[in-house]
């Protein structure tokens, strides 16, 4: 399973096996947190099954969903993990999850000693940055309906499994607005 996370032309089969063997399989129960606000992240998690949500609490005390992690994703708070700073986000399981966890210390040791791992890291980080930039631009340039349709197309498991209020906050709309969007889209399919 972890082979697909670390598939990269710069990594040999032996290197991938070494990286994989450094992970611990962990079960995360629905509702459990893998990271809480003000903690400093010490791990990242390769998600095999389940759904997780990242969120921050705004100045009015409301939870705003900042991201979702589904099978095939790496559940991570990059700034906290790599800069060693307390996070402003929380990451919790929306369903029971199976993950493969690796500690920052182990990751850094492998990053320094496994040929090609730095190339993999650069590729992964570039992809994550691209996704983040696209999301930021979408929040400015696309309508809520367009954002919903993209989410529905690109990550249908979120639409199927995440509570409506979390999807709404991720899209930057109220629950009521999202219900209206879904209703209008449903009429178009009749």
Among candidates 112, 113, 111, which has minimal Cα distance to 124?
Answer: 111
Superfamily of domain 1-141: Jelly Rolls (2.60.120.10)
Helical H segments across the chain, by residue range: 13-21, 78-83, 104-113, 117-141, 144-154, 156-161, 164-171, 175-188
What is the reported pLDDT for 190? Answer: 47
What is the reported pLDDT for 26? Answer: 98
Q: How far apart, in Å, are the Cα atoms of 82 and each of 22, 113, 121, 139?
A: 18, 18, 12, 26
Q: Is the pTM of this model over 0.75?
A: yes
Q: Domain limits of the chain?
A: 1-141, 142-190
Proportion of the chain above pLDDT 90, given as a percent: 95
Tell me what the pLDDT averaged over the chain comes to.
95
Pairing of strands 97-103, 43-49: antiparallel
Burial status of residue 48 (CB atoms within 10 A of its CB: 0-12, 13-18, 19 or more): middle
Query: With 90 as the cut, is the pLDDT of residue 188 above it?
Result: no
Contacts of 5 (CB under 8 A, 6+ apart): 46, 72, 74, 100
Give 105-148 pLDDT, tens digit per residue: 999 999 999 999 999 999 999 999 999 999 999 999 999 999 99
Mean pLDDT of 47-52: 97
Query: With 90 as the cut, is the pLDDT of residue 189 above it?
Result: no
CA distance 190 to 188: 6
What is the reported pLDDT for 1? Answer: 80
CA distance 98 to 71: 9
CB 20 within 8 A of CB 68: no
Query: With 60 as the cut, is the pLDDT of residue 64 above it?
Result: yes
What is the reported pLDDT for 124? Answer: 95
Give 67-102 pLDDT, tens digit per residue: 999 999 999 999 999 999 999 999 999 999 999 999
CA distance 64 to 43: 23
Contacts of 148 (CB under 8 A, 6+ apart): 167, 171, 178, 181, 182, 185
Query: With 80 as the cut, is the pLDDT of residue 187 above it?
Result: no
């Amino acid at each position: 399973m972890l082979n697909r996370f670390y598939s990269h032309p710069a990594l040999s089969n032996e290197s991938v096996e070494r990286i994989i063997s450094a992970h611990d399989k962990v079960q995360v129960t629905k509702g459990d947190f893998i990271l809480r606000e003000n903690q400093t992240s010490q791990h990242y998690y390769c998600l095999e099954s389940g759904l997780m949500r990242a969120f921050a609490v705004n100045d009015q005390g409301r939870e705003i969903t900042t991201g979702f992690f589904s099978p095939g994703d790496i559940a991570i708070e990059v700034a906290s993990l790599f800069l060693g700073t307390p996070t402003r986000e929380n990451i919790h399981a929306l369903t029971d999850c199976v993950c493969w966890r690796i500690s920052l210390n182990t990751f850094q040791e492998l990053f320094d000693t496994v040929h090609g791992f730095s190339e993999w890291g650069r590729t992964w980080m570039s992809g994550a940055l691209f996704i983040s930039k696209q999301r930021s631009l979408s929040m400015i340039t696309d309508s809520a309906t367009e954002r919903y349709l993209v989410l529905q197309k690109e990550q249908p498991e979120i639409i199927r499994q995440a509570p409506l209020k979390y999807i709404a906050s991720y899209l930057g709309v109220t629950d009521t607005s999202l219900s209206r969007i879904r209703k209008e889209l449903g009429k178009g399919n009749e």
